[in-house]
Amino acid sequence: METNEEQEVPNVDEKVAVLLDGLDDINITSLLIKYDEVTNVIQKTNELKEMLRNKIKVYLKEREWDNYMDERTKISVTILTAKRQSVDKTQLKIMLTDAQMSQVIRTTSFEKMTILTPEARKRLKKYVAKPK
């Protein structure tokens, strides 16, 4: 694990650098506060991005266009129909023996860090059943 001296704040765009104002990188509370602020900004920008994507899609579909290239910005948009396939693991377990299942199913392990803010904790409580 890197220490504070080894890990520096990367160069960031001036538009987002304001988010790091007041960051004390040796204080965990300061880091968590900034993490929460950045997460909230990301959530808001993702909502805006999704809204814009939907408006663009409606615009193209109304005109029955599958793609569009904006000459001024050189931004292109393409709508593709995609199919997603998935494996029904319960049916697979019925069809295969345990030895065959161990050959087919690959398991990888990794570290995952979860940071739960008070707002996220409140949202989570709505979906988690309380033990009786």
pTM over cut 0.75: no
The candidate with the shortest Cα–Cα distance to 57, out of 73, 77, 74, is 77
Look at residue 120 and tell me if it is in a domain.
yes
Look at residue 116 and tell me if it is in a domain.
yes
Backbone angles phi, psi at 68, to 5 degrees: -155, 140
Look at residue 3 and tell me if it is in a domain.
no
HSE, side-chain direction, 13 A CA sphere, residue 88: 4
Look at residue 55 and tell me if it is in a domain.
yes
- Per the structure, the count of domains in the chain is 1
Look at residue 37 and tell me if it is in a domain.
yes
Look at residue 2 and tell me if it is in a domain.
no
Distance CA 88, CA 54 (A): 31
Distance CA 45, CA 49 (A): 6
pLDDT of residue 9: 59
Look at residue 21 and tell me if it is in a domain.
yes
- Expressed as residue numbers, the domain containing 75 is 14-80+87-124
Look at residue 28 and tell me if it is in a domain.
yes
Q: Is 96 exposed, middle or buried (0-12, 13-18, 19+ CB in 10 A)?
A: middle
33 within 8 A of 24, measured Cβ to Cβ: no
The CB density around residue 12, as the number of other CB atoms within 10 Å, is: 11
Give the pLDDT of the chain (132 residues) as one tens digit per residue: 444 444 555 666 777 778 888 888 899 999 999 999 999 999 999 999 999 999 999 999 999 998 899 899 999 999 988 888 888 889 988 999 989 988 888 888 888 777 788 888 888 888 887 777
Q: Is 102 exposed, middle or buried (0-12, 13-18, 19+ CB in 10 A)?
A: exposed
